[in-house]
Amino acid sequence: MKSLELLIERIILSSRWLLVAFYLGLVAALAVYALSFGLKFLKIAENVFVYTDAEMILAMLALIDAALVASLIVMVMISGYENFVSRFDEGEDSVSFLGKLDAGSLKIKVASSIVAISSIHLLQIFLNANQYSDSKLMWFTIIHLAFVVSAVMLGFLEKLMAKPKAPQDSSDI
């Protein structure tokens, strides 16, 4: 019976390597997104003397938004791989946050990135407010606020979970 238990444990522990397919998929998605970013940049460069100030600001916000999304993908790939699959070998390519992002802090960073991306998207919408009804503007704002509240709550819960427990008094036992 013990050998069956060991076999099951080995299979379960080895299954973490299936996550590599997801991380490699994210690498491919990042490459495709980089091509998309390049095309957006070329379009902006072609129209640099044609765009109005407002159009240029919107174009720059779109590039910033893309950079934040790409950074989010990299953060999830690296920290997810290190937390759930295998540790990276420390070398000269080592990233400063390796080994420092646990699942809780990763969730907070992801939530913060989503709030930043949502903020940029909302700013883009507000710069084109005349194209949206008041009702849509209200809903975009409510959705953004939901992201903000979620990120704050995740941070609060993480801080609450990280508090050291007080030592128990021996008389309580």
Predicted pLDDT at 87: 78
Contacts of 74 by beta carbon, 8 Å cutoff, 6+ apart: 30
Decide: residue 25, CB within 10 A, 0-12 exposed, 13-18 middle, 19+ buried: exposed
pLDDT in tens, the chain (173 residues): 888 889 999 999 989 899 999 999 999 999 999 999 999 999 999 999 999 888 899 899 999 999 999 998 998 898 888 878 887 777 666 666 555 666 777 788 888 888 998 999 899 899 888 899 999 999 999 999 999 999 899 888 888 887 666 566 555 55
